[in-house]
Amino acid sequence: MTCRSPIGAIALLAALLLPPLVLPDAGALAFDQSKYPDLKGQWLRVGPPRWDDQHAPLTSEYQAIYQANLKDMATGGQGIDPTYTCLSPGMPRIMNVYDPMEVVVTPGATHILIQHIHDVRRIFTDGRDWPKNEDPTFAGYSIGKWIDSKGTGRYDLLEVETRNLKGPRVYDSTGLPFHEDNATVINERIYLDKADPNLLHDDITVTDHALTRPFSANKKYSRNPDPQPVWLEAQCADGNHHVQIGKENYYVSEDGYLMPVKKDQAAPDLKYFKKK
Amino acid sequence: MLHRGSIGAVALLAALCLSAAGAGAFEDSQYPDFNGKWNRAPTPGAPRTPQPVYDPTKGWGKAQGAPLTPEYTAIFEANEKDQAEGGPGTTRGFTCRTGGMPLIMTLFQPMEVIVLPDTTYMLINRGNIQRRIFTDGRDWPKEIEPSYVGYSIGKWIDEGGTGHYTVLEAETRGFRGPRTYDASGLPLHTDEQSIVKERMYLDKTDKNVMHNQITVIDHALTRPWTVTKDYRRDPSPRPVFVEEICAEGNPWVQIGKEAYMLGAAGELMPSKKDQPPPDLKYFNQTKK
């Protein structure tokens, strides 16, 4: 039997231990973050932001497109990489993680936040089906499912499928192309490394009509140990010297003059300006 | 002195309290339901304006009644003249740079709000705006890398003493520019020392309406300027978030300090009467 004064002391101590804030409703919705892997923090790309273009199983048609693109780049052009105009890199190039990534997990969706250009993704995990009439996007429409692969009562794997993409998109800055039909399907398995919880894996498999078979890559990201990491704001237009006029790409010099990017490139037509 | 058994009970209770805190269970009901997709709400009786304005209850430009200093009134008037001739004035949205704070809170495009204990996220597609309001009790960093969106620290307030948070108070500093309040070109000071204070809360009678009372303190103003913006929640449980890429179909191009237009077929055109063409001195003109 417990004596009375210790009960009072326990009650007092309990009251002191409880946070002096707000208490949840009895029927409150609790988002139990402990059921999910700890993906908090700032994730930085491990390795170069590239895909293995030497082993990309491109069809012969798209291999020719890729080679023509490389030739254009060699002469000063941008090839078929559209991001110099500040278009979104789209999926799966977003997951190259050009700028640091934050992964925000909520029960209904996992948000991938990357500043870069337009590299924000929502991965819906609320059990929804594919929408019937949504406009295609560079990031695509992503549906995910949390998996408890070990039966421990905690999720350890996020499986994602992404469809409904728009283009033009390429895998990386080499201009490795996707099929222009944009019927790409991207499957991902996102999970923490078994030995290192500060290493995140994204196993990506792309199915695309420009490929003779699915093309896979394993992307890795390391967690910034800083508990309050700096999130830099990226504005593509800031310091972007490329301008597109018609179908031509030009360069604007530091002192504000329009310049050719290729030898003997024609100047833009000035017919709409008054002649002096 | 406590009974030995009671000491054990206290230790157990303390351990339970600590483990519960460490488990990371997040009680959504402690916070107002800010989640979802929010659209700019129409203001009944407000004057019609060419674009959404900073104070939604007032008209365009001068009619906003911004308490600008004489120096910045002159800058604004020069901007009005440039805009009347076809130029962008003091605005930089045509270059696809974000308008920054506080313009972004006008919600030119819908906003998603995600409330988590340490951070409230505000995501707006236009300009790829990812605003973080840190609510983890941090202090201002010694050095802030300036940004258009700024660095925001917030605090949840249980204003009614009901046991639930009702108001998110946020303060934002650490800006870069140029920034304007809206597309009319009402300018903020170029020293970028603005401080933006916000109080965000749900309407007492309609939980699908959020109010944001914004007060700007800025050296281009003679006194703090306060406006209240209203947002309405999209009733769809699965709202559509449209991807808007500013660069797609942007008819503006900046060469040096001049803003030009692109025609339907991409031809370079003047944006103002008698605007001179860009200097093409780096091109081999004899080849044409």
- What's the pLDDT at A119? 82
- The verdict on a CB contact (< 8 Å) between B247 and A25 is no
Q: Share the mean pLDDT of chain A.
A: 89
The pair of three-digit structure tokens given for residue B152, joined into one six-digit string:
């925001």
How far away is chain A from the Cα of B178, in angstroms, using its nearest Cα? 12
CATH number, domain A42-223, options 2.60.40, 1.10.10, 1.10.3470, 2.40.128: 2.40.128
Helices (H) and strands (E) in chain B, counts: 2, 13
Report the sign of the C-alpha dihedral through residues A19, A21, A25, A31, in that order: negative
Residues from chain B contacting residue A7 (CB–CB below 8 Å): 6
- The torsion angle over the Cα atoms of residues B127, B133, B134 and B138, rounded to 10 degrees, is 110
In chain A, which residues have their Cβ closer than 8 Å to the Cβ of B30? 21-24, 28
Sign for the pseudo-dihedral over CA of A221, A225, A226, A228: positive
Question: Taking CB atoms and an 8 Å limit, are B24 and A266 in contact across chains?
Answer: no
Segments making up each domain of chain A, as ranges: 42-223
Q: Do A273 and B241 touch (CB under 8 A)?
A: no
- Tokens at residue A268, please? 């833009």
Instruction: Give mean pLDDT, residues A182-205.
Output: 98
Q: Closest Cα of chain A to B132: distance in Å? A: 9
Distance from CA of B2 to the nearest CA of A (A): 6
User: Given B17, B125, B275, which is nearest A18 (Cβ)?
Assistant: B17
Give the nearest chain A residue to B8 (CA atoms): A10
Sheet holding A248-252, edge to edge: A242-245, A248-252, A258-259
In which residue are the tokens 């923490």 written? Answer: A192
| Domain ranges (residues) in chain B | 36-233, 252-287
Instruction: Name the pTM for this structure.
Output: 0.86
Provide, as residue numbers in chain A, all residues whose Cβ is less than 8 Å from the Cβ of B116: 104, 106
User: Chain B partners of A3 at a C-beta cutoff of 8 Å?
Assistant: 3, 6
Check whether A60 has a pLDDT greater than 90: yes
Tens of pLDDT along B76-134? Answer: 999 999 999 988 899 988 888 888 999 999 999 999 999 999 999 999 987 778 999 99
**3-state DSSP percent of chain A in helix, strand and coil, to 5:** 15, 30, 55
- Give the amino acid at A250: Y
Mean pLDDT on A221-229: 97
> Min CA distance, B8 vs chain A (Å)?
10
**Which residue is it, tokens 């997990």?**
A105
Rounded to whole angstroms, how far apart are CA atoms B284 and B288?
8
Q: Is the C-alpha dihedral spanning A175, A179, A183, A188 positive or negative?
A: negative
Amino acid making up residue B66: A
Cβ neighbours of B268 in A, within 8 Å: 245, 268-270, 272-273
Integer Rg of chain B from CA: 24
Per-residue pLDDT of chain B (288 residues; tens, 9 = 90+): 334 444 444 444 443 333 333 346 677 889 999 999 999 999 999 999 999 999 999 999 999 999 999 999 999 999 999 999 988 899 988 888 888 999 999 999 999 999 999 999 999 987 778 999 999 999 999 999 999 999 999 999 999 899 999 999 999 999 999 999 999 999 999 999 999 999 999 999 999 999 999 999 999 999 999 999 999 999 998 999 888 888 888 888 899 988 899 998 889 999 988 999 999 999 986 544
Question: Cα(A31)–Cα(B224) distance, rounded to whole angstroms?
Answer: 39
- Closest residue in A to B151 (Cα) is A231
Those residues whose C-beta lies under 8 Å from the C-beta of residue B176, and which sit 6 or more positions away, are B100, B146, B147, B148, B192
Confidence at residue B249, expressed as pLDDT on a 0 to 100 scale: 80
* Tokens found for residue A89: 């890199």
Q: How many CB pairs under 8 A join A and B?
A: 211
CA distance A263 to chain B (A): 9
Which of A25, A31, A274 has its CB closest to that of B26? A31
- pLDDT reported for residue A29: 53
Distance CA B288, CA B247 (A): 30
The distance from CA A249 to its chain's CA centroid, rounded to whole angstroms, is: 26
Q: Which of B9, B13, B253 sits opposite A17 (nearest CB)?
A: B13
Residue A18 pLDDT exceeds 50: no
Categorize the per-residue pLDDT at A274 as very low, low, confident or very high, splitting at 50, 70 and 90: confident
DSSP string, A103-158: EEE-SSEEEEEETTTT--EEEE-S-PPPPSS---BSS-EEEEEEE-TTSSSS--EE
Residue A53 has what pLDDT? Answer: 86
On the question of a cis peptide bond just before residue B102, with omega within 30 degrees of 0, the verdict is: yes
Q: Find chain B residues with C-beta within 8 A of A252's C-beta.
A: 254-256
Q: Which residues of B touch A122 (CB under 8 A)?
A: 241
